[in-house]
Structure 1
Amino acid sequence: MIDDYICFCHNRKNLNSKTIKSYRIDLRQYKNYIEKNDMEWRGKQAIESYIEELHDHYKPKSVKRKIASLKAFFHYLELEDIIENNPFHKIQIKYKEPFILPKTIPLNSIKAIICYAYEQIKLATTVYSQKIALRNALILELLFVTGMRISELCSLNLDQIDRNDYIIRINGKGSKERLIQICNSKVQQLLDLYIDKTQNDNNRFFFVNRRNNPLSEQSVRYMISNYAKKARITQHITPHMFRHSFATLLLEEGVDIRYIQQMLGHSSITTTQIYTHTSISKQKIILATKHPRNKMEIQ
Protein backbone atom coordinates (compact mmCIF):
# COMPACT_ATOMS: atom_id res chain seq x y z
CA MET A 1 0.00 0.00 0.00
CA ILE A 2 2.88 2.35 0.73
CA ASP A 3 4.27 1.83 -2.78
CA ASP A 4 0.83 2.51 -4.28
CA TYR A 5 0.57 5.72 -2.27
CA ILE A 6 4.04 6.83 -3.35
CA CYS A 7 3.01 6.30 -6.99
CA PHE A 8 -0.14 8.32 -6.31
CA CYS A 9 1.95 11.17 -4.88
CA HIS A 10 4.23 11.11 -7.91
CA ASN A 11 1.68 10.67 -10.70
CA ARG A 12 -1.48 12.28 -9.36
CA LYS A 13 -0.29 14.86 -6.84
CA ASN A 14 2.86 15.66 -8.83
CA LEU A 15 4.94 16.13 -5.68
CA ASN A 16 8.67 16.75 -5.99
CA SER A 17 11.20 13.98 -5.40
CA LYS A 18 12.38 15.41 -2.09
CA THR A 19 8.86 15.38 -0.61
CA ILE A 20 8.20 11.87 -1.92
CA LYS A 21 11.46 10.63 -0.41
CA SER A 22 10.43 12.04 2.98
CA TYR A 23 7.00 10.38 2.72
CA ARG A 24 8.58 7.02 1.92
CA ILE A 25 11.00 7.25 4.86
CA ASP A 26 8.28 8.32 7.30
CA LEU A 27 5.80 5.63 6.26
CA ARG A 28 8.38 2.85 6.34
CA GLN A 29 9.35 4.00 9.80
CA TYR A 30 5.74 3.60 10.93
CA LYS A 31 5.54 0.18 9.26
CA ASN A 32 8.69 -0.98 11.06
CA TYR A 33 7.34 0.28 14.39
CA ILE A 34 4.06 -1.61 13.92
CA GLU A 35 5.81 -4.84 12.94
CA LYS A 36 8.30 -4.58 15.79
CA ASN A 37 5.54 -4.11 18.37
CA ASP A 38 3.05 -6.51 16.72
CA MET A 39 0.26 -3.92 16.58
CA GLU A 40 -2.79 -3.39 14.35
CA TRP A 41 -1.60 -0.71 11.91
CA ARG A 42 -5.05 0.86 11.46
CA GLY A 43 -5.71 1.14 15.18
CA LYS A 44 -6.01 4.41 17.06
CA GLN A 45 -3.95 2.98 19.91
CA ALA A 46 -1.09 2.05 17.57
CA ILE A 47 -0.93 5.54 16.08
CA GLU A 48 -1.05 7.24 19.50
CA SER A 49 1.70 4.94 20.76
CA TYR A 50 3.79 5.72 17.68
CA ILE A 51 3.33 9.46 18.18
CA GLU A 52 4.55 9.13 21.77
CA GLU A 53 7.58 7.26 20.47
CA LEU A 54 8.30 10.08 18.01
CA HIS A 55 8.12 12.70 20.77
CA ASP A 56 10.71 10.73 22.74
CA HIS A 57 13.26 10.66 19.95
CA TYR A 58 12.74 13.64 17.65
CA LYS A 59 12.50 17.40 17.75
CA PRO A 60 8.99 18.92 17.50
CA LYS A 61 9.50 20.02 13.90
CA SER A 62 10.46 16.50 12.80
CA VAL A 63 7.57 14.99 14.77
CA LYS A 64 5.16 17.37 13.06
CA ARG A 65 6.39 16.34 9.62
CA LYS A 66 6.28 12.62 10.34
CA ILE A 67 2.74 12.85 11.70
CA ALA A 68 1.68 14.89 8.66
CA SER A 69 3.08 12.17 6.37
CA LEU A 70 1.15 9.48 8.20
CA LYS A 71 -2.02 11.57 8.31
CA ALA A 72 -1.86 12.17 4.53
CA PHE A 73 -1.40 8.43 3.97
CA PHE A 74 -4.49 7.53 5.99
CA HIS A 75 -6.47 10.24 4.22
CA TYR A 76 -5.51 8.62 0.90
CA LEU A 77 -6.57 5.18 2.18
CA GLU A 78 -9.93 6.59 3.22
CA LEU A 79 -10.51 8.31 -0.13
CA GLU A 80 -9.65 5.11 -2.00
CA ASP A 81 -12.03 3.09 0.23
CA ILE A 82 -9.15 0.92 1.40
CA ILE A 83 -10.16 1.62 5.00
CA GLU A 84 -13.65 2.42 6.27
CA ASN A 85 -12.66 4.51 9.27
CA ASN A 86 -9.77 6.94 9.45
CA PRO A 87 -8.31 6.72 12.98
CA PHE A 88 -6.97 10.27 12.73
CA HIS A 89 -10.56 11.57 12.96
CA LYS A 90 -10.53 10.49 16.60
CA ILE A 91 -6.99 11.53 17.50
CA GLN A 92 -6.19 14.92 18.97
CA ILE A 93 -2.60 15.87 18.33
CA LYS A 94 -1.00 18.58 20.38
CA TYR A 95 2.59 19.61 20.05
CA LYS A 96 4.25 22.96 20.44
CA GLU A 97 7.31 23.85 18.45
CA PRO A 98 9.86 25.98 20.30
CA PHE A 99 9.85 29.52 18.96
CA ILE A 100 13.17 30.14 17.23
CA LEU A 101 13.86 33.45 15.54
CA PRO A 102 15.16 33.18 11.96
CA LYS A 103 18.87 33.94 11.70
CA THR A 104 19.63 36.79 9.34
CA ILE A 105 22.77 38.26 7.79
CA PRO A 106 23.70 41.91 8.43
CA LEU A 107 23.42 43.95 5.24
CA ASN A 108 27.11 44.91 5.32
CA SER A 109 28.05 41.21 5.45
CA ILE A 110 25.81 40.42 2.47
CA LYS A 111 27.49 43.24 0.56
CA ALA A 112 30.95 41.94 1.51
CA ILE A 113 30.19 38.41 0.25
CA ILE A 114 28.70 39.67 -3.01
CA CYS A 115 31.61 42.08 -3.56
CA TYR A 116 34.04 39.21 -3.06
CA ALA A 117 32.10 37.17 -5.63
CA TYR A 118 32.41 39.94 -8.24
CA GLU A 119 36.14 40.23 -7.52
CA GLN A 120 36.51 36.55 -8.41
CA ILE A 121 34.98 37.25 -11.83
CA LYS A 122 37.60 39.95 -12.48
CA LEU A 123 40.42 37.66 -11.29
CA ALA A 124 39.37 34.70 -13.47
CA THR A 125 42.11 33.79 -15.96
CA THR A 126 40.52 30.87 -17.83
CA VAL A 127 37.17 30.29 -19.51
CA TYR A 128 36.31 27.62 -16.96
CA SER A 129 37.25 29.72 -13.91
CA GLN A 130 35.20 32.61 -15.31
CA LYS A 131 32.14 30.35 -15.67
CA ILE A 132 32.51 29.20 -12.07
CA ALA A 133 32.95 32.76 -10.81
CA LEU A 134 29.91 33.96 -12.77
CA ARG A 135 27.86 31.02 -11.49
CA ASN A 136 28.79 31.63 -7.86
CA ALA A 137 28.11 35.37 -8.04
CA LEU A 138 24.72 34.77 -9.65
CA ILE A 139 23.81 32.17 -7.02
CA LEU A 140 24.47 34.69 -4.25
CA GLU A 141 22.59 37.44 -6.04
CA LEU A 142 19.54 35.27 -6.76
CA LEU A 143 19.34 33.98 -3.19
CA PHE A 144 19.31 37.56 -1.95
CA VAL A 145 17.15 39.33 -4.56
CA THR A 146 14.51 36.59 -4.88
CA GLY A 147 14.45 34.93 -1.44
CA MET A 148 14.17 31.52 -3.12
CA ARG A 149 14.95 28.30 -1.28
CA ILE A 150 18.21 26.52 -2.03
CA SER A 151 16.26 23.51 -3.36
CA GLU A 152 14.40 25.82 -5.76
CA LEU A 153 17.66 27.39 -6.91
CA CYS A 154 19.46 24.08 -7.53
CA SER A 155 16.54 22.71 -9.56
CA LEU A 156 16.28 25.76 -11.85
CA ASN A 157 16.12 25.17 -15.60
CA LEU A 158 16.76 27.74 -18.31
CA ASP A 159 13.14 27.61 -19.48
CA GLN A 160 12.05 28.96 -16.09
CA ILE A 161 13.75 32.28 -16.83
CA ASP A 162 12.18 35.01 -18.96
CA ARG A 163 15.09 37.14 -20.20
CA ASN A 164 12.82 39.77 -21.73
CA ASP A 165 11.15 40.78 -18.47
CA TYR A 166 13.65 39.16 -16.08
CA ILE A 167 11.01 37.02 -14.41
CA ILE A 168 11.84 33.69 -12.79
CA ARG A 169 9.18 31.01 -12.55
CA ILE A 170 9.90 29.15 -9.33
CA ASN A 171 8.59 25.66 -8.66
CA GLY A 172 8.07 25.72 -4.91
CA LYS A 173 6.94 23.31 -2.22
CA GLY A 174 3.94 21.18 -3.07
CA SER A 175 4.52 21.92 -6.76
CA LYS A 176 3.21 25.44 -6.23
CA GLU A 177 4.43 27.84 -8.87
CA ARG A 178 5.21 31.51 -8.25
CA LEU A 179 6.78 34.30 -10.28
CA ILE A 180 9.37 36.73 -9.01
CA GLN A 181 10.99 39.55 -10.93
CA ILE A 182 14.63 40.65 -10.91
CA CYS A 183 14.57 44.42 -10.81
CA ASN A 184 18.22 45.25 -10.12
CA SER A 185 20.08 46.18 -13.32
CA LYS A 186 23.42 44.80 -12.07
CA VAL A 187 21.83 41.40 -11.40
CA GLN A 188 20.08 41.52 -14.79
CA GLN A 189 23.44 42.10 -16.50
CA LEU A 190 25.04 39.27 -14.53
CA LEU A 191 22.19 36.93 -15.47
CA ASP A 192 22.54 37.76 -19.17
CA LEU A 193 26.32 37.33 -19.06
CA TYR A 194 26.08 33.99 -17.28
CA ILE A 195 23.52 32.66 -19.76
CA ASP A 196 25.54 33.87 -22.76
CA LYS A 197 28.73 32.28 -21.41
CA THR A 198 27.33 28.95 -20.25
CA GLN A 199 24.09 27.94 -21.93
CA ASN A 200 25.74 26.92 -25.19
CA ASP A 201 26.86 23.83 -23.25
CA ASN A 202 23.48 22.27 -24.14
CA ASN A 203 22.55 21.60 -20.54
CA ARG A 204 18.97 22.04 -19.41
CA PHE A 205 20.08 22.59 -15.81
CA PHE A 206 20.81 26.22 -15.02
CA PHE A 207 23.50 25.72 -12.36
CA VAL A 208 25.86 22.81 -12.96
CA ASN A 209 29.13 21.42 -11.61
CA ARG A 210 32.24 20.59 -13.62
CA ARG A 211 30.65 17.33 -14.81
CA ASN A 212 27.59 19.19 -16.11
CA ASN A 213 25.40 17.60 -13.45
CA PRO A 214 22.97 19.73 -11.43
CA LEU A 215 24.80 21.64 -8.73
CA SER A 216 24.07 20.04 -5.36
CA GLU A 217 22.74 21.90 -2.34
CA GLN A 218 25.84 20.83 -0.41
CA SER A 219 28.09 22.43 -3.05
CA VAL A 220 26.20 25.72 -2.71
CA ARG A 221 26.51 25.59 1.09
CA TYR A 222 30.24 24.97 0.82
CA MET A 223 30.73 27.79 -1.67
CA ILE A 224 28.85 30.29 0.49
CA SER A 225 30.75 29.26 3.62
CA ASN A 226 34.05 29.54 1.75
CA TYR A 227 33.23 32.95 0.25
CA ALA A 228 32.12 34.26 3.64
CA LYS A 229 35.45 33.25 5.20
CA LYS A 230 37.38 34.82 2.33
CA ALA A 231 35.34 38.00 2.81
CA ARG A 232 36.44 37.94 6.49
CA ILE A 233 32.99 37.32 7.88
CA THR A 234 33.10 35.41 11.16
CA GLN A 235 29.36 34.63 11.27
CA HIS A 236 28.41 31.18 9.97
CA ILE A 237 26.42 31.87 6.80
CA THR A 238 23.97 29.42 5.21
CA PRO A 239 21.91 29.72 2.01
CA HIS A 240 18.62 29.84 3.94
CA MET A 241 19.84 32.89 5.87
CA PHE A 242 19.66 34.88 2.62
CA ARG A 243 15.96 33.98 2.47
CA HIS A 244 15.46 35.08 6.06
CA SER A 245 17.32 38.33 5.34
CA PHE A 246 15.27 38.94 2.19
CA ALA A 247 12.03 38.77 4.18
CA THR A 248 13.25 40.67 7.24
CA LEU A 249 14.81 43.55 5.30
CA LEU A 250 11.71 43.99 3.11
CA LEU A 251 9.54 44.01 6.23
CA GLU A 252 11.77 46.66 7.79
CA GLU A 253 11.33 48.77 4.67
CA GLY A 254 7.57 48.74 5.22
CA VAL A 255 6.58 46.16 2.58
CA ASP A 256 3.16 44.62 3.26
CA ILE A 257 3.58 41.16 4.78
CA ARG A 258 1.07 39.73 2.28
CA TYR A 259 3.41 40.60 -0.60
CA ILE A 260 6.33 39.02 1.26
CA GLN A 261 4.21 35.90 1.81
CA GLN A 262 3.57 35.65 -1.93
CA MET A 263 7.23 36.19 -2.85
CA LEU A 264 8.39 33.55 -0.38
CA GLY A 265 5.77 31.07 -1.55
CA HIS A 266 4.24 30.55 1.89
CA SER A 267 0.78 28.96 1.74
CA SER A 268 -0.11 30.49 5.11
CA ILE A 269 0.62 34.00 6.31
CA THR A 270 1.25 32.50 9.76
CA THR A 271 4.54 31.14 8.45
CA THR A 272 5.56 34.58 7.20
CA GLN A 273 4.62 36.28 10.47
CA ILE A 274 7.69 34.85 12.16
CA TYR A 275 9.65 37.65 10.48
CA THR A 276 7.65 40.27 12.37
CA HIS A 277 9.58 39.20 15.47
CA THR A 278 13.02 39.66 13.94
CA SER A 279 13.07 43.38 13.19
CA ILE A 280 14.68 44.38 16.50
CA SER A 281 16.71 47.24 15.00
CA LYS A 282 13.61 48.68 13.34
CA GLN A 283 11.67 48.25 16.57
CA LYS A 284 14.30 50.25 18.45
CA ILE A 285 14.08 53.15 15.98
CA ILE A 286 10.28 53.18 16.10
CA LEU A 287 10.09 53.13 19.89
CA ALA A 288 12.84 55.73 20.26
CA THR A 289 11.29 58.19 17.81
CA LYS A 290 7.54 57.51 17.78
CA HIS A 291 6.48 56.42 21.26
CA PRO A 292 4.46 59.14 23.08
CA ARG A 293 6.42 58.56 26.31
CA ASN A 294 9.46 60.16 24.75
CA LYS A 295 7.52 63.43 24.45
CA MET A 296 6.64 63.54 28.14
CA GLU A 297 8.71 65.78 30.34
CA ILE A 298 8.44 64.67 33.94
CA GLN A 299 10.28 66.48 36.70
Structure 2
Amino acid sequence: MSERSQARLISSIKSFYNFLIYKDKIKNDPTELLESPKIGFRLPDVLSVEEIDSIIGALDMSKPESTRNRAMIEVLYGSGVRVSELINIELSKIYFEEKYMLIEGKGSKQRLVPLSDESIKQIHFWLLDRNRLKIKKGNEDYLFLNRRGSKISRAMVFEVVKRLAKEANIQKRVSPHVFRHSFATHLLENGANLRAIQQLLGHESITTTELYTHVDIQHLRYTIENCHPMNKKK
Protein backbone atom coordinates (compact mmCIF):
# COMPACT_ATOMS: atom_id res chain seq x y z
CA MET A 1 0.00 0.00 0.00
CA SER A 2 1.35 3.41 -0.95
CA GLU A 3 2.06 6.10 1.65
CA ARG A 4 -0.79 8.19 0.25
CA SER A 5 -3.22 5.27 0.61
CA GLN A 6 -1.99 4.63 4.16
CA ALA A 7 -2.56 8.28 5.04
CA ARG A 8 -6.12 8.17 3.69
CA LEU A 9 -6.86 4.97 5.62
CA ILE A 10 -5.48 6.37 8.88
CA SER A 11 -7.46 9.58 8.37
CA SER A 12 -10.67 7.57 7.94
CA ILE A 13 -9.97 5.52 11.08
CA LYS A 14 -9.27 8.65 13.10
CA SER A 15 -12.49 10.25 11.86
CA PHE A 16 -14.45 7.16 12.87
CA TYR A 17 -13.11 7.19 16.43
CA ASN A 18 -13.67 10.95 16.70
CA PHE A 19 -17.29 10.28 15.76
CA LEU A 20 -17.58 7.59 18.47
CA ILE A 21 -16.21 10.01 21.07
CA TYR A 22 -18.62 12.70 19.88
CA LYS A 23 -21.52 10.25 20.34
CA ASP A 24 -20.22 9.25 23.81
CA LYS A 25 -19.74 5.66 22.67
CA ILE A 26 -16.12 5.63 23.85
CA LYS A 27 -14.10 7.85 26.16
CA ASN A 28 -10.58 7.51 24.81
CA ASP A 29 -9.28 7.67 21.27
CA PRO A 30 -7.13 4.58 20.55
CA THR A 31 -5.73 6.29 17.45
CA GLU A 32 -4.41 9.32 19.31
CA LEU A 33 -0.78 8.23 18.96
CA LEU A 34 -1.24 6.86 15.46
CA GLU A 35 0.79 8.94 13.01
CA SER A 36 0.24 9.23 9.30
CA PRO A 37 3.19 8.66 6.97
CA LYS A 38 4.74 11.81 5.58
CA ILE A 39 3.89 12.21 1.93
CA GLY A 40 6.47 13.81 -0.30
CA PHE A 41 5.31 16.53 -2.65
CA ARG A 42 5.88 15.36 -6.23
CA LEU A 43 6.20 18.18 -8.69
CA PRO A 44 4.95 17.50 -12.21
CA ASP A 45 7.21 17.68 -15.23
CA VAL A 46 7.91 21.04 -16.81
CA LEU A 47 7.81 21.52 -20.56
CA SER A 48 10.43 23.67 -22.22
CA VAL A 49 9.33 26.36 -24.66
CA GLU A 50 10.72 24.19 -27.45
CA GLU A 51 8.62 21.23 -26.31
CA ILE A 52 5.49 23.37 -26.21
CA ASP A 53 6.27 24.57 -29.73
CA SER A 54 6.65 20.92 -30.78
CA ILE A 55 3.24 20.06 -29.33
CA ILE A 56 1.66 22.96 -31.21
CA GLY A 57 3.54 21.87 -34.32
CA ALA A 58 2.01 18.39 -34.01
CA LEU A 59 -1.46 19.80 -34.69
CA ASP A 60 -2.94 18.86 -38.05
CA MET A 61 -4.60 22.15 -38.92
CA SER A 62 -6.55 20.52 -41.76
CA LYS A 63 -8.76 18.86 -39.14
CA PRO A 64 -11.77 20.91 -37.96
CA GLU A 65 -11.09 20.38 -34.25
CA SER A 66 -7.49 21.61 -34.52
CA THR A 67 -8.37 25.31 -34.27
CA ARG A 68 -10.10 24.52 -30.97
CA ASN A 69 -7.19 22.41 -29.74
CA ARG A 70 -4.67 25.12 -30.68
CA ALA A 71 -6.70 27.70 -28.77
CA MET A 72 -6.92 25.39 -25.74
CA ILE A 73 -3.14 24.87 -25.69
CA GLU A 74 -2.53 28.61 -25.96
CA VAL A 75 -4.90 29.37 -23.07
CA LEU A 76 -3.53 26.55 -20.88
CA TYR A 77 0.07 27.69 -21.30
CA GLY A 78 -0.58 31.40 -21.82
CA SER A 79 -2.82 31.87 -18.78
CA GLY A 80 -2.01 28.94 -16.47
CA VAL A 81 -5.65 28.02 -15.86
CA ARG A 82 -6.72 24.69 -14.38
CA VAL A 83 -8.41 22.23 -16.73
CA SER A 84 -11.62 22.62 -14.70
CA GLU A 85 -11.42 26.38 -15.33
CA LEU A 86 -10.59 25.94 -19.01
CA ILE A 87 -13.69 23.90 -19.81
CA ASN A 88 -15.90 26.43 -18.02
CA ILE A 89 -14.63 29.59 -19.72
CA GLU A 90 -17.63 31.61 -20.87
CA LEU A 91 -17.65 33.90 -23.88
CA SER A 92 -19.54 36.54 -21.92
CA LYS A 93 -16.61 36.72 -19.48
CA ILE A 94 -13.90 37.24 -22.09
CA TYR A 95 -12.97 40.90 -22.60
CA PHE A 96 -11.06 40.90 -25.86
CA GLU A 97 -10.25 44.62 -26.03
CA GLU A 98 -8.97 44.66 -22.46
CA LYS A 99 -7.17 41.31 -23.02
CA TYR A 100 -8.37 39.45 -19.96
CA MET A 101 -11.02 36.98 -18.88
CA LEU A 102 -12.93 36.38 -15.68
CA ILE A 103 -12.23 32.92 -14.30
CA GLU A 104 -14.15 31.13 -11.57
CA GLY A 105 -11.70 28.98 -9.62
CA LYS A 106 -11.82 26.75 -6.58
CA GLY A 107 -14.51 27.62 -4.06
CA SER A 108 -16.29 29.71 -6.71
CA LYS A 109 -13.68 32.44 -6.23
CA GLN A 110 -13.30 34.71 -9.24
CA ARG A 111 -10.10 36.24 -10.57
CA LEU A 112 -9.05 38.23 -13.61
CA VAL A 113 -6.58 36.42 -15.86
CA PRO A 114 -4.72 38.20 -18.68
CA LEU A 115 -4.91 36.84 -22.23
CA SER A 116 -1.87 36.94 -24.49
CA ASP A 117 -2.16 38.32 -28.01
CA GLU A 118 -1.52 34.82 -29.38
CA SER A 119 -4.28 33.35 -27.19
CA ILE A 120 -6.73 35.98 -28.42
CA LYS A 121 -5.76 35.34 -32.05
CA GLN A 122 -6.24 31.58 -31.71
CA ILE A 123 -9.55 32.02 -29.88
CA HIS A 124 -10.81 34.16 -32.77
CA PHE A 125 -9.78 31.46 -35.26
CA TRP A 126 -11.63 28.87 -33.17
CA LEU A 127 -14.74 31.04 -32.95
CA LEU A 128 -15.01 31.01 -36.75
CA ASP A 129 -15.26 27.21 -36.68
CA ARG A 130 -17.34 27.19 -33.50
CA ASN A 131 -20.00 29.32 -35.20
CA ARG A 132 -20.57 26.50 -37.70
CA LEU A 133 -21.55 24.04 -34.97
CA LYS A 134 -25.11 23.23 -34.00
CA ILE A 135 -24.81 24.27 -30.38
CA LYS A 136 -26.95 22.45 -27.85
CA LYS A 137 -29.24 24.43 -25.59
CA GLY A 138 -27.52 25.54 -22.40
CA ASN A 139 -24.06 25.43 -23.99
CA GLU A 140 -24.23 28.67 -25.97
CA ASP A 141 -21.88 30.63 -23.71
CA TYR A 142 -19.13 28.03 -23.24
CA LEU A 143 -16.01 28.81 -25.24
CA PHE A 144 -14.79 25.28 -25.87
CA LEU A 145 -17.27 22.79 -27.33
CA ASN A 146 -17.06 19.29 -28.76
CA ARG A 147 -18.20 18.44 -32.27
CA ARG A 148 -21.73 17.75 -30.97
CA GLY A 149 -22.07 21.30 -29.69
CA SER A 150 -21.75 20.51 -25.99
CA LYS A 151 -19.23 21.82 -23.46
CA ILE A 152 -15.96 19.97 -23.82
CA SER A 153 -15.16 17.51 -21.03
CA ARG A 154 -12.07 17.25 -18.83
CA ALA A 155 -11.44 13.78 -20.25
CA MET A 156 -11.36 15.12 -23.81
CA VAL A 157 -8.88 17.86 -22.89
CA PHE A 158 -6.63 15.24 -21.26
CA GLU A 159 -6.93 13.02 -24.34
CA VAL A 160 -6.08 15.87 -26.72
CA VAL A 161 -3.03 16.94 -24.72
CA LYS A 162 -1.75 13.39 -24.27
CA ARG A 163 -2.16 12.56 -27.97
CA LEU A 164 -0.41 15.73 -29.15
CA ALA A 165 2.51 15.14 -26.77
CA LYS A 166 2.89 11.61 -28.11
CA GLU A 167 2.81 12.82 -31.72
CA ALA A 168 5.44 15.43 -30.82
CA ASN A 169 7.65 12.65 -29.35
CA ILE A 170 7.62 14.24 -25.89
CA GLN A 171 8.80 11.59 -23.42
CA LYS A 172 7.44 13.34 -20.33
CA ARG A 173 4.02 12.58 -18.87
CA VAL A 174 2.05 15.50 -20.24
CA SER A 175 -1.30 16.61 -18.86
CA PRO A 176 -3.15 19.95 -18.77
CA HIS A 177 -1.63 20.48 -15.31
CA VAL A 178 1.86 20.33 -16.83
CA PHE A 179 1.03 23.40 -18.94
CA ARG A 180 -0.10 25.22 -15.79
CA HIS A 181 3.11 24.28 -14.01
CA SER A 182 5.21 25.27 -17.03
CA PHE A 183 3.42 28.63 -17.14
CA ALA A 184 4.31 29.36 -13.50
CA THR A 185 7.85 28.03 -13.77
CA HIS A 186 8.70 30.02 -16.89
CA LEU A 187 7.32 33.20 -15.32
CA LEU A 188 9.43 32.65 -12.21
CA GLU A 189 12.55 31.87 -14.24
CA ASN A 190 12.11 35.11 -16.15
CA GLY A 191 11.88 37.25 -13.04
CA ALA A 192 8.15 37.41 -12.26
CA ASN A 193 7.19 38.24 -8.68
CA LEU A 194 5.97 35.24 -6.68
CA ARG A 195 2.96 37.20 -5.43
CA ALA A 196 1.93 37.99 -8.99
CA ILE A 197 2.20 34.31 -9.91
CA GLN A 198 0.10 33.45 -6.85
CA GLN A 199 -2.67 35.77 -8.06
CA LEU A 200 -2.51 34.46 -11.62
CA LEU A 201 -2.79 30.86 -10.46
CA GLY A 202 -5.55 31.61 -7.97
CA HIS A 203 -3.70 30.22 -4.95
CA GLU A 204 -5.01 31.28 -1.56
CA SER A 205 -1.66 30.80 0.13
CA ILE A 206 1.76 31.87 -1.10
CA THR A 207 3.04 28.59 0.38
CA THR A 208 1.16 26.68 -2.31
CA THR A 209 2.80 28.80 -4.98
CA GLU A 210 6.24 28.22 -3.46
CA LEU A 211 5.69 24.47 -3.65
CA TYR A 212 4.16 24.68 -7.08
CA THR A 213 6.77 26.77 -8.82
CA HIS A 214 9.88 24.75 -9.45
CA VAL A 215 13.00 26.43 -10.73
CA ASP A 216 15.37 24.02 -12.47
CA ILE A 217 18.92 23.63 -11.21
CA GLN A 218 20.44 25.22 -14.32
CA HIS A 219 18.47 28.40 -13.74
CA LEU A 220 19.50 28.43 -10.08
CA ARG A 221 23.14 28.00 -11.10
CA TYR A 222 22.79 30.84 -13.61
CA THR A 223 21.28 33.07 -10.89
CA ILE A 224 24.14 32.40 -8.48
CA GLU A 225 26.82 32.87 -11.13
CA ASN A 226 25.36 36.16 -12.37
CA CYS A 227 23.79 37.68 -9.26
CA HIS A 228 25.99 36.71 -6.31
CA PRO A 229 28.33 39.61 -5.37
CA MET A 230 31.39 37.35 -5.02
CA ASN A 231 30.94 36.07 -8.58
CA LYS A 232 30.49 39.61 -9.88
CA LYS A 233 34.02 40.46 -8.66
CA LYS A 234 35.57 37.92 -11.03
Q: Give TM-score scaled by structure 2 length.
A: 0.78
| Corresponding letter in the other structure for 2:57 | C
Of residues 275, 286, 289, the one that matches 2:226 is 289
In the superposition, relative to structure 1, how do residues 192 and 93 fare at CA in structure 2: closer, same or farther (>3 Å)?
farther
State the percentage of identical aligned residues: 34
Cα distance in 2 for partners of 1:232, 1:253 equals 26
In the superposition, relative to structure 1, how do residues 108 and 59 fare at CA in structure 2: closer, same or farther (>3 Å)?
farther
Query: Structure 1 regions of 5+ residues with no counterpart?
Result: 1-54, 75-90
User: Shift in Å at residue 63 of structure 1?
Assistant: 6.9
Cα distance in 2 for partners of 1:59, 1:100 equals 17
CA distances 1:257-280 after superposition (whole Å, capped 9, x unpaired): 111001000011110011454332
Residue matched to 1:148: 81
User: Shift in Å at residue 227 of structure 1?
Assistant: 0.9
Cα distance in 1 for partners of 2:166, 2:222 equals 31
For 1:108, what is the secondary structure of its paired residue?
Answer: helix
Cα distance in 2 for partners of 1:273, 1:57 equals 22
User: Shift in Å at residue 58 of structure 1?
Assistant: 1.6
Residue matched to 1:58: 5
Q: How many pairs were matched up?
A: 217
Residues 1:115 and 2:57 are matched in the alignment: yes
For 1:114, what is the secondary structure of its paired residue?
Answer: helix
Residues 1:236 and 2:182 are matched in the alignment: no
For 2:150, what is the secondary structure of its paired residue?
Answer: coil
In the superposition, relative to structure 1, how do residues 59 and 98 fare at CA in structure 2: closer, same or farther (>3 Å)?
farther
CA distances 1:274-297 after superposition (whole Å, capped 9, x unpaired): 145433221010122333554688
| Corresponding letter in the other structure for 2:108 | S
Residue matched to 2:48: 106
Of residues 99, 108, 118, the one that matches 1:186 is 118
The answer on whether the counterparts of 1:167 and 1:181 sit within 8 Å (CA) in structure 2 is yes
Q: CA RMSD in A?
A: 3.3
Q: Give TM-score scaled by structure 1 length.
A: 0.62
Of residues 100, 115, 127, the one that matches 1:195 is 127
The answer on whether the counterparts of 2:226 and 2:232 sit within 8 Å (CA) in structure 1 is no
In the superposition, relative to structure 1, how do residues 213 and 253 fare at CA in structure 2: closer, same or farther (>3 Å)?
same
User: Shift in Å at residue 163 of structure 1?
Assistant: 2.6
Query: Structure 2 regions of 5+ residues with no counterpart?
Result: 20-31
Cα distance in 1 for partners of 2:34, 2:103 equals 33
User: Shift in Å at residue 92 of structure 1?
Assistant: 9.9
Cα distance in 2 for partners of 1:134, 1:223 equals 12
Residue matched to 1:134: 67
| Corresponding letter in the other structure for 2:121 | Q
Residues 210-249 of structure 1: matches in 2 within 5 Å? 210-249=147-186
Residue matched to 1:165: 98
CA distances 1:45-74 after superposition (whole Å, capped 9, x unpaired): xxxxxxxxxx987264x579x77xx7xxx9
